[in-house]
Structure 1
Amino acid sequence: MTHEWNSEIHEAIEARIHQAYGEMISKEARESQSVEASGEMLDKMRTFYYSRMSMTASLLLAGTAVVISVLALLVSLF
């Protein structure tokens, strides 16, 4: 049910990772860099982006829960 939505988010994150990697390292440096070194750098970038997205999702979920709780409290008062 959520496969398409998750796939789009994953593809967007991967595109940002590769774009940032391309901007960060010049073409000559990428060609001279070993496959292992570039793989390690991409893994570090993936870890950063995925942890950032997880934190953002958690904060949005917590914020939504607070809003719903406050609304429920207001409804119960009236």
Structure 2
Amino acid sequence: MPYVIAEPCVGVKDKSCVAVCPVDCIHGGDDDNQLFIDPSECIDCGLCEPECPVDAIFMDDEVPEKWSSFIQLNADYYKK
């Protein structure tokens, strides 16, 4: 189960999570309003979760219901 970045990241884009990701699966361009985790590359190591200063990173089966749309949003980002 991959990790997902949810709503608290919107507008923040703190890259502390990027620095600790051992497989470089967290991305977000200058035009994006948040960071995204590639579900096909995430190895579920969990290193990113405690690094997020806004608590925006969750296992995909633990994303709060109000942010459940971010599961698909993260996946869709990599279908471009």
Taking structure 2 as the reference length, the TM-score comes to 0.25
**Structure having greater relative contact order (Cα 8 Å, sep ≥ 6):** 2
Instruction: Name the structure where strand makes up a greater proportion of residues.
Output: 2
Structure whose CA Rg is larger: 1
